[in-house]
Amino acid sequence: MKTVYALGFIGLTALSVRGQAALYGQCGGANWTGATTCVAGAVCTYSNAYYSQCLPASSSSSSTHSTTTTSSSHSTTTTSTSHTTTTTTTSAAPTTTGTGSGSLKFYGVNIAGFDFGCDTSGDCTESGAYPPLLVYYGADGAGQMTHFVNDDGYNIFRLPVSWQFLTNNAETGVLNSTTLAEYNTLVQDCLSTGAYCIIDIHNYARFNGAIIGQGGPTNEVFAELWGNIAANYASESKIIFGVMNEPHDLNVTLWAGTVQAAVTAIRNAGATTQIILLPGDNYTSAATIYSDGSGAALLTVKNPDGTTTNLVFDVHKYLDSDNSGTSDVCVTDNVSEAWEPLAAWLRTNGRQALNSETGGGNTASCVQYMCQQIAYMKANASDVILGYVGWAAGNFATTYVLSETPTDTNGVWTDTELVSSCMAPK
């Protein structure tokens, strides 16, 4: 039933009449060559230089940038493995028929470095990490976050870290006081900006190749890890707990049990109100979580009191041809293949999600499609998609293919093209 609804919605929005753009279809923007007028009942509404969209006449009439046609032009090493917020307490459940408010709750970026050395097998070492902190001879992560908040209006940062770093390579839930103190330096720098800070275990649901709860570390050990982390931050209302980065190739029913163990441990440690991000299979893909079985399995995960308050789905989506986040050539805005059907599924189930990883190159194609993706989320899905966190800044060099690392020139910060064109809310 949910699948039929989602596909029907996609089909409806894909149609056009006599060269007119469909409801919620694109109708203008840089390099746009399609229809610039909308079907009856819709108005071509300006979002930014790269994207105008056909919105219902009743909702677009309140926009200060409404127009019938829009056309504009714009020109435009350290490596980590595959990519890898979230959110605030909501006072009421989302509606099942709502759309966008024109703004998102969260805008942010990953501050990478403590995750360096990890690969998709969960094979990491403590020595492979590269803290994005000047005191450890890394990048000025604190300065970056201060700039992003003050100059760009960001309000959330994801701070990926490997399990092995936190335990000094031991397959245990007991935190190592020395390495935890290093990571906590970045966490405190984040909190000092006033932003929300996501603690993200960046291990792909594995520890050195073995799946948690499925032949690898037991659920009890994983729960101990999260219980100890949560105990350190239970009083911090702006900490968000990212249970796991990009699980893949696992039994989704068993995985839901693992996530449940982590959620229970976090809440029992005293972190009773903070957001917890629930990751699905297939690298947490926004295009499959509603259909691959992992979303359905994770719907069973509950707080100890039986509620689902502040249990938010964790999703990722890149814009390159294979969704790997490894190319600076973007080919899609992800709307029809991911965000429309996901939004429908979330509304049907009364839930919300956070896009904690998305990004692209500093190229014309990525600027175009990223602007379109963000415009769609704002206009049509902000009731269920809480926001996005770009990949990545921190210790990534400015030459990294998906770099969002700003350049500091004598205290003057300059953003990458993708950040300044699309991703920064200011």
Active site residues: 246, 357
In whole angstroms, what is the distance from residue 415 CA to residue 393 CA?
10
Give phi and psi for 37, each to the nearest 5: -120, 160
Distances (CA, A) of 290 to 7, 13, 197, 262, 335: 12, 19, 26, 22, 14
